[in-house]
Copies of this chain bind each other. A is one copy, B any other.
């Protein structure tokens, strides 16, 4: 039916224990995508909770996860009327690959914000003026399933002319088709190339810690991803992504702390 749906499916095998089959298609040469892993963890957290939406997820990426079987462990820490908090881990080969805290709650699909800030600036150009980049062979799997249309102003690093600012902006959708939901948002907040490519860094930029918040139930259609960073220092950088939906609503916010990449070794 849906590759992303299948790839994030969790099977309950015991109290707070879920069997998963990680799909190598949602990764690159180096590792499975962190957003994909957060989507898998969120499925288990929601299954184990009386609430439907992962409103707050913090994840520590400890070890590279590989395609194949793994287990998600959900330890409930507090269940309340408004929200449920859990400690959720992804375990593979008897080692913790991802350690997370996930809070679930219920967001009303038709909620209107009481207050919302201005949309991100600069705006994302219309999709027809954005650039779809054919993936390199090593990025093949991910790009076969995730469609990104980039703001050309943030693609200068591809031609050796980085913009000089840590930034990246793109339209996002799953090719499946799979309409935006909580789990697609988990993937979306980590789908952009690292913003530090535009300050001249090269190579893979491993995420150490990532937190994202689901703020609204997304409408069907394309999502806008607005990524930027505030500081690059001592080998560390932050990357914030705001996700806006086709109805013009802020649906997710993230921040990650990551290591500046090194060029891939030959």
Which residues of A are in contact with B by a Cβ distance under 8 Å?
55-56, 58, 60, 62-63, 77-78, 82-83, 85, 87, 96, 99-101, 103, 105, 107-108, 111-117, 165-166, 199, 208-209, 211, 213, 215-216, 228-236, 238, 242, 250, 253, 255, 257, 259-260
10 contacts between A and B (CB under 8 A): A78-B96, A87-B99, A103-B208, A114-B199, A114-B232, A114-B260, A115-B199, A116-B232, A213-B257, A215-B236
> What separation, in Å, do the CA atoms of A231 and B232 have in the docked complex?
27
Question: Could you list 8 further interchain pairs (A-B, Cβ under 8 angstroms) beyond the known A85-B99, A114-B199, A209-B213?
Answer: A58-B211, A62-B78, A78-B96, A87-B87, A103-B209, A115-B199, A117-B165, A215-B238
- Report the minimal beta-carbon distance from A20 to chain B, rounded to whole angstroms: 19
B60 and A77 within 8 A (CB): yes
B234 and A107 within 8 A (CB): yes
Copies in the complex: 2
> What separation, in Å, do the CA atoms of A204 and B100 have in the docked complex?
27
Main secondary structure of the interface of A (DSSP, over half): strand
> What separation, in Å, do the CA atoms of A208 and B211 have in the docked complex?
13
Contacts of A114 in B (CB 8 A): 199, 232-233, 260
